[in-house]
Amino acid sequence: MSELCKIMNKYKSDKAWHHNYTKIYDLVFNDLKNDCMNVLEIGIGSIDENVSSSMNSKQMNMLYNKYDIQNYKPGASLRGWKEYFKNSNIYGLDIDKKAMVKSERIKTNVVDSTDSNQVNNYLKNNSCNSFDIIIDDGLHTSDAQIATLINFFPCLKSGGLYIIEDLYNSRGKWIPEKVVDSIFRLIDDGFIEMENPGDIEIYTGYDGIIKPRNSNILVIKKK
């Protein structure tokens, strides 16, 4: 078991026990983990069942019982990133004010990542408005993922990584056509700049016989 997998399991993040994303992040982040960076994760992990992106669903509760993580609390991944990226500042955004986290090197804010006005206000008033890594683990719909990309890609530093988790395709195919098509349109329009076409990758996090249809990650490296 990798270092990151152990860390995320300790904090009960579903990046390890459900999606198997840690094996991908080990490859993507291994050379960066000791750098001094600003890391932003969108989606802290609300447990309010009235919040659209809540972890407190019937399906998730079933998984919690299976993996003995009934004591899950918001910010599991943020705590994991803090331990893994030992020299970095960790930032988190969520629409649920009850999901905020207070911890050294972790700063959280209530922001709807799909709302350009809220995002602009956050970037204007936050002490950090540019990031080395941005991870979208927010509302897992294509429209929300595209809107969040448009709102946050401009504040990604040159050479930085923009990551979209939990890509989902309702037709059962793991390639998220709507998101990918939108990204290539943004590339054609000059909104997204990359060094070469190989700087966009799609990974599947699950390698078992039964694969959750949303266990996929898209990684973009900015020019």
Question: Sign of the C-alpha dihedral, residues 137, 142, 144, 149?
Answer: positive
Q: 24-33, 81-90, 158-167, 208-217: which has the minimum mean pLDDT?
A: 208-217
For residue 197, the 8-state DSSP code is: G
Q: Among 2-11, 56-65, 165-174, 190-199, which is the least confidently predicted range?
A: 56-65
SS3 content of the chain, % helix, strand, coil (to 5): 35, 20, 45
pLDDT at 175: 54
This prediction has a pTM of 0.85
Using CA atoms, how far apart are residues 57 and 93, in angstroms rounded to an integer? 20
Is residue 172 pLDDT above 80, yes or no?
no
User: pLDDT tens-digit profile of 114-143?
Assistant: 999 999 999 999 888 899 999 999 887 888
Domains of the chain: 3-221 (3.40.50.150)
- How far, in Å, are 23, 37, 109, 187 from residue 206 at the CA level? 10, 28, 31, 28
